[in-house]
Chain A
């Protein structure tokens, strides 16, 4: 290997370092109007290296490179390639080494082209590299190249929407890693090491790190491939192992990692995997703390960088808090779903049942837990577990348990609101409030005392009503509508509860009636506000409702109809008035569906009921009229 010490070889190495530097460092400083300047320079250098390498080798034998298009023109170099191009060069054989070197240059050229948006040229170079490698067997010298070239080709084809092709490359890369680790396992050479002097060889540790990183990328690309192939479970698994490996090899940016983990928790939550979800969230919180202290406000005012850092840290932490909120909320809501009877009340039998199955499952979970993929380097593991213990990951069965989860959720609500203030983050702030409201609602389900339950709903109203009033519907129409609808429903719920309480106590005194009517008309009012939001700026009701408001609007009408008929009044005239209004609303629904038959499918049940009411309510009205007439007229 004398040649490696030769002058020419040194020149090649220098060029390579130069090219790397241009590509990795300099290119970031390229001006916006010439973004690829350094990359183009690097490309030139790589081409020169390629030529030099060719020249070193040519002449010895019939080294006709079927894959390389350039004709060897220069003197051969030493390095004894006497065997010529046999099959399956060993990685450390001179031929193998040469192929690997050429391959590496091809690889870098390929990446360079791809990065400068010249995909086809990039592909060609990468395929050249593949062809060169084809003749070699896997060895510590070339295994990195084997994997990385496949990674690149995988991305390339994925970018062209040929996912299956990408999948092929990446899965081969994965298999190669696994096989290599099984059969050999010693830290392989990094690609850059082809072009450095021996004394500059990387330490073992660094080699491992780089090699593992390449494999992490393989997994990461596979995650994307599976996602695109709609194999979501597989994709989820690969995402998880990617995160895990990042942590294990300490190759991550804390905030970014934390956000990814937090998002992954949301995936688990939707899959009902609360234990995994909680683990991700705990890890996210712990890792996010590694990102450092939030700079003080004063510091932020002094420097732009500090200000940005402050904003970033606060924002990301608030976002993780929001993921926690969703965790608590979904856990409560799912438990509710399991426990409720057909009218949405707590079902005692189901409660007992759930309690029993939970005991059984506890152990199995414990066992499953070991096999579950855990995050954490040694130093973070304990804190992650510590955080996990603060909130349960099993469905609550009674108020006490539900309350514990609720309180955790509420803490995160407050934490998230600190950053997402109303002023400046209107929609985010409101979304958090809506979650808070939903937490209360879920908790109320577990509360047996109706008065207290009613108070919880009152809290919901208190937090949403002022905001709903202040918000400018021109800009926040959707949010306004959501709030209106939710407020209307909350009032409805309170009304029902009030009535239930009164029924229990058997006294429907004037005060209760007044309260009831107030709640009833409040509910109506908000539905009405919602309905008014559908009108055009001139206040006209649209002849045809837009798809997205079709159902909500008709449902609101339907509810208003119901609400009108529920108002309590001792005056027959008022009763009559209310019933007529009610009929009018039912009629609206029926008539609208008659005029727009395509709307029928959106509100089948409501329509059916409205139709019946339209046919039956007149009876009631007429009777009332008759009563009224006879009491007046006789």
Chain B
């Protein structure tokens, strides 16, 4: 909880403790406080006791203020620099801030909070800071307003410390809540102050009014809580409209902790002997019981997903208040809630807006270093260590979870089954029509897209020989497409920025490829910005990632610390920002083969091709002036002369591709026709089957009917069937129910029952038929759409080709730009490309991510 900071301050030994020889029980080291039970030590001297004597606590700040001459002595100023300054900073940002001092009596709370004449405490320093900051930003004379109030809570009664004597007799002030203004003390005097002096005067007046009780044990001990509240209002202009930021700073000097705690057992002592009838703390015990069971009975019902607990039980969290032993607070995950009718202490109540939500809270616990106060110090430290828990936690109820999650699961299943059915190439009638088809193409296309793009890139920048060596081009007419394989394992950068269109491709050659920032001693093969480093080793096809210390490597979102083998498709994140996809063509080939086998005749080659043309990025390589591209191969940048040649080659390839498309359209067309024909035939057959079956049944029924009665009416029964099942979409499928006329009600008999059965069956058959028909129609539609899409692609490809051909002559110079020469420096940088003229760019704006391809069978 970032909003609560806890500090510890150790005061000097007092005269009494010094007399004892001043043995210390407390040690401070950086942010740790150690406490040693020296009493225990003495008692068990020489017995070799095994009991743990040193306890350690960690805090946000620890101040050692025991002796001024010590090097790490923390002065008032130092405490202010940490705590006071953050109070001021919080207030100026508009947060409510609350600073508590907590500790046994006589441990220096008042000294820390108020200070003495010679060494000011936090409160006056904060006032000072408030007015100082005011003058340093003199944007307006009245840019801020400071109002001060000072109250005291003694025995749960609230008293205004700044109202002189006249109100002393008055009863306790009432603490109330206002819907707009929050918790407030009714009739508490507010004093507007304009400078530091006034503020301090009020502070002193208040202190003088505080009750300081003298007891036999303590020379001076505060027996009341004092809250000094500064309301700080800043006037600002927001969008040229005047507005105010109001923040409250509560500076709280808690009474000696044993008094501040209403749960403290001392109370029941007095009560036990004095007030016979009242068992004050019984209530506390009972409420603790109720609260305890409230927390422990977190049942694992279906709603347990809704962990955080329930609304309405805020009381539970409120009561674990300042004084309520922080350990119990929070954590209540139970479903049950009950009401615990014990009022919060006035203090907690008044500060409740400061104990959670939007306010910043600082606790400073003061302790004595002396071994005499071991117990008190330990309990203060324990309390302070728990202090964070005093903060209220919001609990929200989430009952709707169950249903929502169920719904969503259903939807996910639907989407998944859609995908599955596509993969199985078995369009099942159970799928809703709208979802079948093109959807699933996207998935495959997506999968292959990155792969493909990478290949295209490298392809165009390589000489023919290398190309032949490293890639095999497989043009398979039967499959109406071709596949391009890079044989080397490689990395492709995945850029998070959706607007970035470049693709960077790194080969992982045999041996070690190191990745890291350029400023390293040994320049890495792959240069990344930031401190991300790692090594990747390719050992005859086995690629291993070796994370280097100081940089976080994640593979598929899992952090790796040991070398790990990379698998095809792994996503590698280095240093949290750089993401790569790892491709292992050899491995992928095996996988792809497997998949292809399962998909039968279908192959993905079409979309492979398709994606390469539809991507606007492609144009860039050959467009003059498109120097923003960075093709960064892991090593060995292609020679410049090669580029032109490559481009010519590329155009040729494009031509081939266009031709390819054209052919594919024809093949697909033929295939579609064949498919539709067979489908049609199947439908026809089904239809005939049904007709025959109906005829049979009719005869059968007629026979039965004749036996029983002379009437024959079977056509009638079949009649009402079609209309109810008529789906608006399926109207034309209703031929199956031609023999129709009005309905007559047959008296119930065996025949009737028989008929009913038949009717039902017929109904089912018709339904199946109709579904088959609508499936057929859908298919037909798909084929049409697909063809259209293909034609469009073809058109684009053609256009692009023309354009490319035109662009070729000037393109001869462009690749020779210095960009390539300095590729090592620009390696890894993501190119930014903005193109408006390119034809497919328009398209890509319609389809921001993927170009749709209709490709169902």
Contacts and interface: CB of A to CB of B under 8 A. Distances in A.
B179 A471 contact: yes
A619 B442 contact: yes
Given A36-B215, A474-B96, A425 B311 contact: no
Given A270-B293, A322-B341, A552-B308, 6 more contacts: A224-B285, A263-B287, A270-B290, A482-B311, A547-B1, A618-B442
Contacts of A537: 93-95, 245, 358
A475 interface: yes
B847 A478 contact: no
Nearest to B275: A253
Interface of A: 24, 32-36, 40, 111, 114-118, 151-152, 155, 158-160, 213, 217, 220-221, 223-224, 227, 232, 235-236, 239, 242-243, 246, 251-253, 256, 259-260, 262-264, 266-267, 269-271, 304, 308, 316, 319-320, 322-323, 325-326, 330, 333, 337, 340, 342-344, 422-427, 431, 434-435, 438, 441, 467, 470-479, 481-482, 485-486, 489, 492-493, 496, 530, 537, 546-549, 551-552, 555, 559, 562, 594, 602, 605-606, 609, 612-613, 616-620, 622-623, 625-626, 629-630, 633-634
Contacts of A158: 265
Nearest to A320: B341
Interface in B317-357: 318, 334-342, 352-353, 356-357
A82 B403 CA distance: 88
Contacts of B183: 475
B525 to A, nearest CB: 28
30 contacts: A33-B212, A159-B265, A217-B272, A227-B289, A232-B292, A239-B285, A239-B286, A239-B289, A259-B283, A260-B279, A263-B342, A264-B289, A267-B290, A322-B341, A325-B339, A342-B402, A423-B178, A434-B312, A474-B246, A478-B356, A478-B394, A482-B394, A482-B396, A485-B396, A551-B307, A609-B412, A622-B847, A623-B442, A623-B852, A626-B854
A256 B338 contact: no
B216 interface: yes
A404 B570 CA distance: 62
Interface stretch (B15-23, B297-305, B707-715, B818-826): B297-305
Interface string B182-223: 110000000000000000000000000001111111000001
A292 to B, nearest CB: 16
Contacts of A343: 402-403, 406
A285 B740 CA distance: 75
A521 to B, nearest CB: 16
B338 A548 contact: no
Given A34-B213, A479-B314, A223 B294 contact: no
Contact of B293 (A118, A271, A622): A271
B276 A622 contact: no
B177 A424 contact: yes
Given A259-B341, A326-B339, A220 B403 contact: no
A609 B409 contact: yes
B839 interface: no
Given A343-B402, A478-B394, A479-B314, A220 B279 contact: yes
Interface stretch (B109-117, B432-440, B654-662, B684-692): B432-440
Interface string B402-418: 11111111011001101
A485 to B, nearest CB: 4
B338 A266 contact: yes
Contact of B394 (A441, A481, A602): A481
A618 B498 CA distance: 14
Contacts of A479: 314
A424 B293 CA distance: 31
A58 B281 CA distance: 43
Contact of B785 (A337, A476, A618, A630): A630
Interface string B141-181: 00000000000001000000000000000010000111111
Given A155-B265, A220-B279, A476-B353, A548 B1 contact: yes
Nearest to B218: A117
Contacts of B277: 246, 251-253
B852 to A, nearest CB: 4
Contact of A232 (B289, B341, B416): B289
B339 A111 contact: no
Contacts of A270: 290, 293-294, 297, 334, 336, 338
A481 B342 CA distance: 24
A613 B409 CA distance: 9
B278 interface: yes
A602 B333 CA distance: 13
Nearest to A230: B292
B813 to A, nearest CB: 37
Given A155-B272, A220-B279, A622-B442, A342 B305 contact: no
B849 A236 contact: no
Interface in B781-795: 785, 788
B850 interface: yes
B847 A629 contact: yes
Contacts of A481: 394, 396
B154 A32 contact: yes
Nearest to B212: A33
Given A115-B273, A477-B358, A552-B396, A472 B289 contact: no
B94 A496 contact: no
Given A344-B399, A548-B393, A634-B788, A269 B408 contact: no
Contacts of A552: 308, 394, 396, 398
Contact of B336 (A235, A269, A427, A630): A269
A224 B279 CA distance: 12
A32 B213 contact: yes
Nearest to A277: B338
Contact of A151 (B272, B788, B852): B272
A535 B455 CA distance: 45
Nearest to A489: B400
Nearest to A225: B285
A343 B353 CA distance: 38
Given A117-B217, A477-B358, A492 B265 contact: no
Given A475-B353, A549-B394, A431 B852 contact: no
A120 to B, nearest CB: 12
B746 interface: no
Contacts of A344: 302, 399, 402-403
Q: List 7 A-B pairs, minimum CB-CB distance, nearest first.
A: A475-B182, A477-B357, A319-B341, A266-B338, A426-B177, A626-B852, A485-B396
A266 B334 CA distance: 14
A616 B415 contact: yes
B269 A266 contact: no
A562 B788 contact: no
A569 B415 CA distance: 20
A623 B435 contact: yes
B274 interface: yes
Contacts of A616: 412, 415-416, 419
A252 B283 CA distance: 13
Contacts of A471: 179
Contacts of B336: 269-270, 330
B215 A35 contact: yes
Contacts of A622: 438-439, 442, 847, 849-850, 852
B443 A619 contact: yes
A253 B277 CA distance: 6
Contacts of B246: 474
Contacts of A431: 312, 314-315
Nearest to A258: B341
B723 to A, nearest CB: 16
A223 B287 CA distance: 12
A438 B338 CA distance: 13
B287 to A, nearest CB: 5
A414 to B, nearest CB: 16
Contacts of B211: 32-33
B806 to A, nearest CB: 26
A238 to B, nearest CB: 9
A372 B404 CA distance: 44
